[in-house]
């Protein structure tokens, strides 16, 4: 381990209190506010980070989290123009829908804001200006002309900033892998390119007529291998590290920070020849995190977790399409000035596919998170566990509805039956002491907890494996359990399954008279009384028709 690599939060053994809890702040990459949140989003970074957050809280650490949506990303303008509505109104409406979609899967954050809306905008502007001013003062900015396309969709009366065919208007072939690409990125290989580097450039709203030089601000990191060292410290996995290294080998430690535009956060310099706004995939992306840090500071009374002198452990997460934005844009902006600090861990995931094709808001090839959560009688707990198992951490994974339903029903049946057998056994007791556990089962629980903690390690995160100890715990019920076995199993279940299945595990925890959420150090904590009726997994088994109504073409967003 490098001397400057920050150690991950310590996870103490089961039944051992964490006497040195640390502060952790989790800030996944924002969602573009041009649609709702689909299962590709949910089963990727957001459910993943929700599971990590609960895992760390279960161990006794102080964990907070924040998320935003990006209403200034160019694809918001594309959809707003197509639907002839105001981009700000579109973005805020989508923000509200995204919050509801994620919350419907019990994915929540301490604060989840639209930074471009209302009084939030001033704070957002302040932190973005502070970042750019700090980069400028540190000598990390380079102003240079870049050739940008102009198409025939513009007119002479349009402002110069609106005439460029960039972002969602721009289509091309990736110069690295030669896959179809667009905007500034290739979703196939993760590369970032300037429009004049792309092959076969086209306008998606007309025809490209000319290329014009536009002066923008670019990040420039002068110290050799500084980015590479930071990626090592952040425990970036090999596949994503290779994308970053390939980019630096081709383009150096630099990236665009501003683009010409009117809809966005402006940053002024006498060197610009058009109005420039912060680029959604570098400076603005980091500004979203800094905004979250300021919101957290308001709530805690402490300094922002992103302040240079903060000792809070920072965790970020995103999909493969944001590899270069996070590794070069965000990390580079953190390294290029002295006011704010970088993430201690950044987790990437591949894409979740639906029937063999990538989830896509723009193409409507989605299952919306909020829509599947509204299936009458669905168990959100079981849905979360099944989604965690297909989290695309090592490669693309595929949601095949028939297979998904089979897995959901198997998990629902097995866990419902186990919980019912245990609660029936405890209810049949003439008196409940709850002051004892099955020692042999506790030894097994120790092993399973340790196994699950390994899968949720911040050095090699695999939430797709976190359900295995929960499933194996079912093996420790044989026939009709006695009261001691039933009590131990339910307590163990509440500890192991809480990051994945928060509703039923908290219900079990509270039934035994405990407050808050399950805590590993209290796995065998005696309970003197039960509170309320016996808990059970809410919901029912699913049928093909339940998922069918959520498939593309069956529901309009």
The residue written with tokens 């290294």 in the block is 245
Q: At what angle do helices 401-427 and 380-389 cross, to 10 degrees?
A: 130
Q: Report the pLDDT value the prediction gives residue 4, as an integer from 0 to 100.
A: 60
Element spanning 29, H or E: none
Q: Report the pLDDT value the prediction gives residue 366, as an integer from 0 to 100.
A: 81
Q: Report the pLDDT value the prediction gives residue 519, as an integer from 0 to 100.
A: 95
Query: What's 34's DSSP letter?
Result: S
Q: Report the pLDDT value the prediction gives residue 432, as an integer from 0 to 100.
A: 67
Q: Report the alpha-carbon distance of residue 326 to residue 471 in Å, rounded.
A: 35
Q: Report the alpha-carbon distance of residue 4 to residue 196 in Å, rounded.
A: 38
Q: Report the pLDDT value the prediction gives residue 156, as an integer from 0 to 100.
A: 65
Query: In sequence order, what DSSP letters do the residues of 303-372 get, joined into one string?
Result: --TTBTT--PEEEEEEEGGGHHIIIIIIHHHHHTSSSB---SEEEEE--EEETTEE-BTTTTB--BHHHH
Contact (Cβ atoms closer than 8 angstroms) between residue 501 and residue 385: yes
Nearest partner of 31 among 127, 107, 86, judged by Cα: 107
Q: Report the alpha-carbon distance of residue 279 to residue 182 in Å, rounded.
A: 15
State phi, psi for 64 to the nearest 5 degrees. -130, 165
Q: Report the alpha-carbon distance of residue 228 to residue 226 in Å, rounded.
A: 6
Q: Report the alpha-carbon distance of residue 535 to residue 515 in Å, rounded.
A: 15
Element spanning 201, H or E: strand 199-203
Token pair, residue 29, equals 């990459």
Q: Report the pLDDT value the prediction gives residue 362, as an integer from 0 to 100.
A: 65
Nearest partner of 487 among 476, 502, 498, 500, judged by Cα: 476
Element spanning 11, H or E: none
Q: Report the alpha-carbon distance of residue 468 to residue 471 in Å, rounded.
A: 5
Q: Report the alpha-carbon distance of residue 182 to residue 225 in Å, rounded.
A: 29
Q: Report the pLDDT value the prediction gives residue 159, as an integer from 0 to 100.
A: 86
Per-residue pLDDT reduced to its tens digit, 342-369: 999 999 999 999 888 877 766 677 888 9
- Other Cβ atoms less than 10 A from the Cβ of 500: the count is 25
Please give the C-alpha separations between residue 287 and each of 23, 221, 282, 341, in angstroms, as whole numbers: 21, 18, 9, 12
Q: Report the alpha-carbon distance of residue 18 to residue 25 in Å, rounded.
A: 18
Q: Spell out, as residue ranges, where the chain has pLDDT lower than 50.
A: 1-3, 554-557
Please give the C-alpha separations between residue 498 and each of 54, 439, 493, 527, in angstroms, as whole numbers: 7, 22, 8, 19
Q: Report the alpha-carbon distance of residue 50 to residue 53 in Å, rounded.
A: 5
Q: What is the pTM of this model?
A: 0.95
Q: Report the alpha-carbon distance of residue 523 to residue 110 in Å, rounded.
A: 26
Q: Report the alpha-carbon distance of residue 251 to residue 196 in Å, rounded.
A: 14
Alpha-carbon 542 to chain mean position: 27
End-to-end alpha carbon distance in the chain: 47
Q: Report the pLDDT value the prediction gives residue 245, as an integer from 0 to 100.
A: 96
The residue written with tokens 């604060």 in the block is 111
Q: Report the alpha-carbon distance of residue 472 to residue 404 in Å, rounded.
A: 20
């Amino acid at each position: 381990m490098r001397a400057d690599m920050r150690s991950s939060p310590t996870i103490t053994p089961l039944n051992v209190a964490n006497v040195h809890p640390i502060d952790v702040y989790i800030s996944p990459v924002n969602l573009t506010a041009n649609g709702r949140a689909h299962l590709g989003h949910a089963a990727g970074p957001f459910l993943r980070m929700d599971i990590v957050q609960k895992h760390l809280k279960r161990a006794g650490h102080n964990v907070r989290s924040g998320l935003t949506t990006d209403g200034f990303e160019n694809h918001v303008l594309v959809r707003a123009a197509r639907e002839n509505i105001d981009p700000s109104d579109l973005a805020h409406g989508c923000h509200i829908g995204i919050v509801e979609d994620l919350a419907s899967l019990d994915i929540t954050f301490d604060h989840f804001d639209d930074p471009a809306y209302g009084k939030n905008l001033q704070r957002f502007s302040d932190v973005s200006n502070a970042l750019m001013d700090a980069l400028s003062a540190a000598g990390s900015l380079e102003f240079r002309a870049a050739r940008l396309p102009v198409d025939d969709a513009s007119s002479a009366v349009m402002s110069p900033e609106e005439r460029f065919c960039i972002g969602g208007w721009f289509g091309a072939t990736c110069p690295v892998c030669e896959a179809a690409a667009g905007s500034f990125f290739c979703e196939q290989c993760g590369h970032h390119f300037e429009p004049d580097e792309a092959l076969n450039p086209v306008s998606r709203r007309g025809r490209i007529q000319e290329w014009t030089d536009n002066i923008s601000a670019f990040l420039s990191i002068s110290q050799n291998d500084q980015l590479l060292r930071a990626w090592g410290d952040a425990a970036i996995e090999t596949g994503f590290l290779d994308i970053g290294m390939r980019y630096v080998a081709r383009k150096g430690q630099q990236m665009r920070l501003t683009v010409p535009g009117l809809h966005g956060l402006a940053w002024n310099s006498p060197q610009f020849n058009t109005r420039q706004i912060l680029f959604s995939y570098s400076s603005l992306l980091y500004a979203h995190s800094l905004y979250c840090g300021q919101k957290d500071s308001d709530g805690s009374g402490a300094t922002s977790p992103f302040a240079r002198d903060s000792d809070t452990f920072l965790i970020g997460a995103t999909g493969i399409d944001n590899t270069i934005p996070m590794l070069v844009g965000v990390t580079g902006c953190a390294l290029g000035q002295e006011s704010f600090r970088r993430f201690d861990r950044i987790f990437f995931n591949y894409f979740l596919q639906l029937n063999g094709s990538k989830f896509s808001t723009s193409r409507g090839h989605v299952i919306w998170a909020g829509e599947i959560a509204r299936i009458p009688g669905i168990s959100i707990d079981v849905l979360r566990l099944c989604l965690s198992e297909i989290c695309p951490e090592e490669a693309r994974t595929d949601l095949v509805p028939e297979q998904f339903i089979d897995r959901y029903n198997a998990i629902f049946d097995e866990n419902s039956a186990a919980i019912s057998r245990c609660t029936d056994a405890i209810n049949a007791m003439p008196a409940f002491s709850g002051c004892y556990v099955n020692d042999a089962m506790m030894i097994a629980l120790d092993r399973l907890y340790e196994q699950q903690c390994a899968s949720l390690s911040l050095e090699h995160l695999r939430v797709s494996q976190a359900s295995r100890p929960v499933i194996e715990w079912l093996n420790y019920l044989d026939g009709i359990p006695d009261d001691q076995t039933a009590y131990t199993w339910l307590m163990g279940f509440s500890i192991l399954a809480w990051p994945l299945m928060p509703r039923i595990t908290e219900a079990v925890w509270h039934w035994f008279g405990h407050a808050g959420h399950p805590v590993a150090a209290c796995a065998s904590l005696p309970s003197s009384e039960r509170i309320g009726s016996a808990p059970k997994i809410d919901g029912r088994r699913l049928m093909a028709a339940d998922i069918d109504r959520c498939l593309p073409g069956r529901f309009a967003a």
